[in-house]
Structure 1
Amino acid sequence: MEISVLILYILSLSGVVGLEIYFYYRFIKVLSLPFKEFEPQVEFTSVETLYEAYKKLPKGKFKHVKLRVRAWNKPEIIPQTVDSFMKIIVTLLLTTTGVVISILIANLNFANSNKEINANQRSDWYDNIRSILEGLVKGISSYQNLMYIALFLFILSFVHISISYLKSSLYKKHVVVLDEIEKEYNTDQKLKK
């Protein structure tokens, strides 16, 4: 594989991974935005700190924050793109390359076992064998390229799954705390009546 193609794979992988990390930090920023005026230095990683921070919010602001958190929509473009690419394109490329290599090997076997070649046809036979071998080398080279692409997609999928897990874990913490505080507000209103 050429160095320029490998560099292109590495650059595109780092770009997509960087985009995933950017969206994750943007998600954290959106979730912690309402708390900046009350507690700007605190990181909200534990349920206890989230609970205390949400309790300090005024009820009107709490309702807006709750709606913003619940309305969070998971962007699904990257997994859909990777999934379609893996299922359709990589599968077709692997199949096509495998079929071409199989045909070339069959032709090579046939040309090698041909006993009826006369002296005039020796140069043609040699050219045919050489072109078949060149095709085999190109086919094996394309398999190597496809393996790099598959490795690229595997790393991309792994990073996306990891960051999605972190996002959903953080989102779940916020939702659990919001639900608990909402229950407390509801029980306080029932007790006041």
Structure 2
Amino acid sequence: MAAQRSAAVLPLPRFLADALRAAFVLVLPLLLWCQSAAAITAPELRGQRSVQDLQPDMHGRNLQQQEFLKANLEGFDFSESDLRGAVFNTANLQGANLHAADLEDAVAFASRFDNADLSDAVLRNAMLMNSKFAGSVIDGADFTDAVLDLPQQKALCERAGGTNARTGVNTRDSLNCR
């Protein structure tokens, strides 16, 4: 007959048992709270929900912290809209009207702004890595502390001019053009 092995169960030290009990009491309400649909929805789905509410004419709207992930916003009118903290990752904004829009602290990773009107837009602290701006109008745009790829920054400097009507910052200065 095969010898049966018995596993000895050692009691947990009291401090460890108390710590585990406290962690369970603190974490359980958090886990229950996280069961809401908004907390477990993927960012792309939340972004698509935001896009469903969009119309081609979004002039002057408050769209703070909205997510437009992988959205086709080609030719949309966001002029004079409040887009502070909005996320446009891999969005198509080609030919969009963003005249005098507030894009402060916006994130637009790998987005297309080709032929978009960014005149008098505020893009302070915007994260614009891997985004393209071919043919975009930037007269009076404020890019202060925006993060751009160096080739895009140089291309924007070639056509930068004007002063932002709201911030009073010169576009060339905001892009650190030389």
TM range (shorter): under 0.3
The alignment's TM-score, normalised by the length of structure 2, stands at: 0.23
Larger Rg: 1
Q: Kindly indicate whether structure 1 or structure 2 has the higher relative contact order, using CA contacts under 8 Å at least 6 residues apart.
A: 1
